[in-house]
Structure 1
Amino acid sequence: MERRYLGATGMSVSATALGTANFGPPTNTDRAETVGMIRTAIEAGINVIDTSDGYGDGEVEMIVGEAIQDHRDDVVLATKFGAPFVDDPNRQGASPRWVRRAVEASLRRLRTDHIDLFQLARYDWNTGLDETLSALTDLQSAGLIRAFGHSSFPVEKIVEAQWVAERRGHARFATEQARYSILHRELETAVLPTAQRYGMGVLSYGPLANGWLSGRALAENLRAKFDPSMFDTTDPANARCAELVAELAKVAEAAGIPLPHMATAFTRTHPAITSVIIGPRTPHQLQDQIAASDLVLTDDLLDAIDAIVAPGTEVIPGDTSIYRTSPPSITDPAQRRRHGQRSSKT
């Protein structure tokens, strides 16, 4: 398994990371099986385990904690906090109060005395970066976390966070976690170059584009059972996506490579990407993705992919995750409208 350094953290990590979003309810509720999958991944050389305090309402962190007990020194343990999995505004976001409570709760569930990478799951528009960075720096100084990062930050906030850390004397965000696939290439325009400029590590998720690149018939895709509209090809955008996937499948077939293997290898190719997070649901899917972990695509194959989906292209612009939320300037009309003033008359 190829190893790469995670930005400036000094931590050597596998180029493939195990994501746990498909463990626990509502996807795979067989706890023994998911514990076994984590241990299988570690034995195969995957040393990054990525989870979140919100997966399964904290249950997945407990699964991870159980699985790594005999492997803690071999694992770079990454978890996330701050996503709005509950309605209570004081149990989400990046306020110093919640940062401290979140890390303490994650440490208990993960059954460890430290977290290697503590990640803010999304930008918090209600808390100043100075406040968040101060709290995270204190956790790092206390030894509760080794490094911290963020996920799905707009590029301007990535830059602002680096500036605030330097100006205020805080430790800085060392990593970004972002969605990246052949069908989601918007990151190539600004986010990935910016991460490189600041020496940040990048963990990418969603290499199979929510199942579009899984190689399975759309009707068989598990996500279609939860949100049938996701693959409804009567929608023009989905119809176009299906056409592009069919073209990509032909390229993969001509190269003698399964489409999901080509899709995952594509994301590992970008020099800004440190580790690609895979999200298997079953042991079979895990073994299949491990088997492709060392696949390297040729320049000719990458050129063929670029010809189908151009660099910087976002094929499904409406496909957003829970972490990609619009700023208040977009969601709150009052921030775009001047009230209480008379209109001018000509």
Structure 2
Amino acid sequence: TEAGALLDTPLLRLAALPARVTLAARPAAVAPGPSRLALLEDTRGAGTAVKATARHDSGEVTLDGPAGTTLTPPLRLLWDLFPVSRGATVPAELLGLGDATLPGQDFTLAGKPVTYLAGGSRSGEGYSSTVELTVDGIRWQEVPMFHGRGPAERVFVTREDEAGFTHVLTGDGVCGARPHTGAVITATYRVGAGAAVPPAGTLTQILTPVDNLSAVRNPVPPGGGADADPADRVRTEAPGSVLTFGRAVSGDDYQVVAARAPGVSRATAAWSWDPAQQRAMVRVFVGDDDAAVASARAALRAACDPNLPLTVLPAVRRPVSLRLGLRLDPDRVAEQVVARVRDALLAAPGGLFAPNVLGLGEAVYRSRVEACCLLPGVLAV
């Protein structure tokens, strides 16, 4: 007696993304043709970002995503994506009144840190603040600098001080207009920044109702955020930013431009060979998330020769183990000495092996490790 057709045993886990999937029905809002960004979500709520291309004649979709992704079937392909960014809005904060007798008025925003977003160049090369300035109800435009601006242009500049507060500066009447006396000056902006991000699956609440939006979720963690640059990083990268003049020519230029991109904490560049075009090329490696890789790629596309091949890749983590033998002063408390040595090696922000201290691929010599360990109470390493 025929009982039916045998079915393949369902997979319990996918160790790699499928190259193609077939949808039960193509969503009406998805047009076939060029690839578009989508999210692939598994039964646990975890997922990954993919480039999806729908075919014209069927429900088949071609997927292109990162290697090494492990998902648990069944899978759901999410097309209806919208971008989100960090920050709480501070509406119409009163900064003060205009005074036409003062060149270059300086107003300090009460909230900090102000949210900056990648893209555009209102505040600097490749990034823009969220500050919107109005003078007597007229919106002024943010620019990176006053140089080259006319005396009647309604522009302003933002700057950060050492305490993290944002200053809004107006023109002096020569480069940039002065606000007229008695003008009410207000600013709307957003606050909130940092590299820390909420895990996947935690963005589920809609604070303000939106028409036709019933639920939200994030199968992948957000990325692209960055903490404020510490003073030592500013000292290291500031000379390089002056030497590039916004253009990437040498390998060092590529590294500097990539490292200064929003959301990038570490980057390195290495010369390589392009077998297809039979010429030298630069490969750039970024030691952060996918959003940082995209940010570095966008910054380099704007700075390098468009006729040259551009390769920006995420750096691959390599586990390393280090075993140390310490000869301690017998008059010291051993546990306290060992704890100080461990902090010198691992504790943020200054530990030798703390996050973002070493450069990508940077060699670490024994003498440098020993120098970190030779603290009071350590006789030999």
Structure with more of its chain in helix, by fraction: 1
Q: TM-score, normalised by structure 1?
A: 0.25
Structure with more of its chain in strand, by fraction: 2
Higher RCO, 1 vs 2 (CA within 8 Å, ≥6 residues apart): 1
Indicate the structure (1 or 2) with the bigger Cα radius of gyration.
2
